[in-house]
Amino acid sequence: MKKLPVGARGRLAFLSSIAVLFAAAGCAPAAESGETTTESSDSSSEQVVLEFAQWWAPELPEGSFRTLMDEFEAENPGITVELLSGPYSTTKEQVVAGAASGTMSDVVGLDGAWVSDFVKQGSLANLSSLMDSSSYDQAQLASQIQIDGSTYMIPVINFIYPLYTNDDILSAAGIDAPPTDRTEFAAAAAAVSGGGVSGWALPLSLEAPNGIQNDVMSWVWASGGSMLKDGQPDVTNDEVRTAVEYLKGIWDAGAIAPGSFTMKEQDKLEEFTNGRAAMIVSSLSHINLIRESNPELNFSISALPSVDGYSGKRGIPYASWGIGVAENSEHKEEAWKLVSFLMSESTNEKLSSIANAFPGNTTAVPDFVQGDELFGKAFEIYQSGFPANEFVGLPVAEQLMRLFDEQFQLYLEGDITVDEMLTAAQAAWVAQF
C-alpha cells in the first residue's frame, strides 16, 4: 500500500474528524417536537403538521384510516396529519419513550391501562380544559377517562368481550343454548370436554397478561362485582373469591384447554376457530376473523354468564381505542380539532363500522348492527349491560394483571390456597398503588 505523505495524512485525519462532527450534527434532532410540526408552505401560509401515533391503522382495512384523515385535512385546510402507525406493543413503547423524553406525538392513541401513569408523568394534556375552551358538547361522549376529575382520554370506539360458543360442539353434547349462569357454563364446559376438545380456553400468558382482565375479572364484573373499594385494591372480597374458586373448579374438572399458562389472546382465538375449544371470551372484533379463518364454524355470541339467580345489569368487559393529546404539543388547539373530528357522529359512525366496534359517540350507530345478526346481538348485549373494565385508569395496570396472574397460576397448580392467593395478590397490588 502506498504510504501517504505526512501533510496528506494530517489533512485526511482532520477531514475525517470534521466528517464525524457533521455526521453527529446530522443525527441530532433538527428542533424540538413543537418546532418540527410547523412548516412553511409555498403559499406563505403556516401549515401545521400533527403527528398522530396509534396502532389503529394497521388493524383496519388498508388505507381506510388514511381516508378519514384526508377528510379531516379537507375540512381543515392548513392542518396535515402525519400518521405514525405500528403494532400495539410498538406504539406503547413509542408512546412511553415519547412521554419520557417530552417528544410525544401531538395526538396519541391510548389504552386506558396507560393513562394513570402518563398523567402522573405530566405527559398528557388536560382534555377537560380543551373541551371547555372550545365549548364542546360533552354529552355526546359515551365515556371519558378521568383522573382527579379531569379528562385525559376519550374512548373513540369500544370493543366488547362477549362469550363465543361453538354451537355444533354444544349441541353434540345435548346443549341447545349458550349458558347464561355459572352452573350452566361449568356443566357445558365439562360436558363437551374430551376427544381433543376443551370446554373453555383461558389465556394466562405473563407476556400479555390481559387474560386476567378479559377472562378472569370479567366473571366478577358480569355479576355486578368489583375488585376495588374506594378506588383501592380489594381482591380479597367475596365476589372475587367466588369467581376464582369457580374458575379453579373448571380447571380441576379438566375442562380448560391445555397450555393456559403461556396462552395468549391469539392462541385462544385459534383454539376456538379450529374447534378445539367450545367456548371463549373474546373481542367482538374477532367475529370477522373467525368467519374468514373457518367459514364452516357455526358459532354464536352471548353475554358472559353471571352467578346463578343474578338479575342486575351485567358488566361487559371492553377494551377501547382511546385518544389523548400530548402536553408537550405546541398545537393543542389543532390536536383537539382532530379529536373532536374523530368523535363527531358521522366520523365515529364510519370508524366504528370499519373496525366492527361500538362508537364512543352516543348518537352514532354503526351500520353493521343492522346488517349482521351476530353484531346485532352484540349491540343488544352492549345496550342491556354496561361497559366494565376496572383496570382502566389504574396505575401500572398491566403489572397489576401480571401480579394477579402469577398468584392465580400458583393457585391453579395447587401450590397455594385461595386465601393465600388473594392475600398475596392484594399485598402486591397495594404495594403498586
Q: Which is nearer to other proteins, 357 or 412 (CB)?
A: 412
Q: What is the per-residue burial (b if ≥16 Cβ within 10 Å, else e) of 61-83?
A: eeeebeebbeebbeebeebbbeb
Q: Which is nearer to other proteins, 106 or 117 (CB)?
A: 117
Shortest reach from residue 409's CB to other proteins, in Å: 5
298 and 167 in contact (C-beta within 8 Å)? yes
Query: Dihedral (C-alpha) 374, 380, 383, 388: value to the nearest 10 degrees?
Result: -50
Shortest reach from residue 109's CB to other proteins, in Å: 17
Q: Which is nearer to other proteins, 379 or 408 (CB)?
A: 408
Shortest reach from residue 329's CB to other proteins, in Å: 17
DSSP string for 344-380: SHHHHHHHHHHHT-EESBTT---THHHH-HHHHHHHH
C-alpha span between 39 and 219 (Å, rounded): 52
Q: Which is nearer to other proteins, 137 or 207 (CB)?
A: 207
Shortest reach from residue 260's CB to other proteins, in Å: 6
Q: Which is nearer to other proteins, 60 or 96 (CB)?
A: 96
Contacting residues toward other proteins, per CB under 8 A: 6-7, 9-10, 12-14, 16-17, 19-21, 24, 27, 92-93, 96, 100, 117, 120-122, 196, 204-208, 257-263, 267, 271, 276, 396, 398-399, 402, 405-406, 409-410, 413, 432
Shortest reach from residue 14's CB to other proteins, in Å: 5
Shortest reach from residue 15's CB to other proteins, in Å: 8
Q: Which is nearer to other proteins, 60 or 396 (CB)?
A: 396
C-alpha span between 419 and 411 (Å, rounded): 9
CA atoms within 13 A on the CB side of 315: 21
Q: Which is nearer to other proteins, 215 or 406 (CB)?
A: 406
319 and 161 in contact (C-beta within 8 Å)? yes
Query: What residue type is 379 in one-letter code?
Result: F
Shortest reach from residue 262's CB to other proteins, in Å: 5
236 and 427 in contact (C-beta within 8 Å)? no
Shortest reach from residue 384's CB to other proteins, in Å: 35
Shortest reach from residue 169's CB to other proteins, in Å: 15
Q: Which is nearer to other proteins, 4 or 177 (CB)?
A: 4
C-alpha span between 191 and 18 (Å, rounded): 76
* Eight-class DSSP state of 309: T
198 and 190 in contact (C-beta within 8 Å)? no
92 and 54 in contact (C-beta within 8 Å)? no
Q: What is the per-residue burial (b if ≥16 Cβ within 10 Å, else e) of 387-423?
A: bbbbbbbbbbbbbbbbbbbbbbbebbeeebeeeebbe
Query: What residue type is 315 in one-letter code?
Result: G
Q: Which is nearer to other proteins, 272 or 368 (CB)?
A: 272
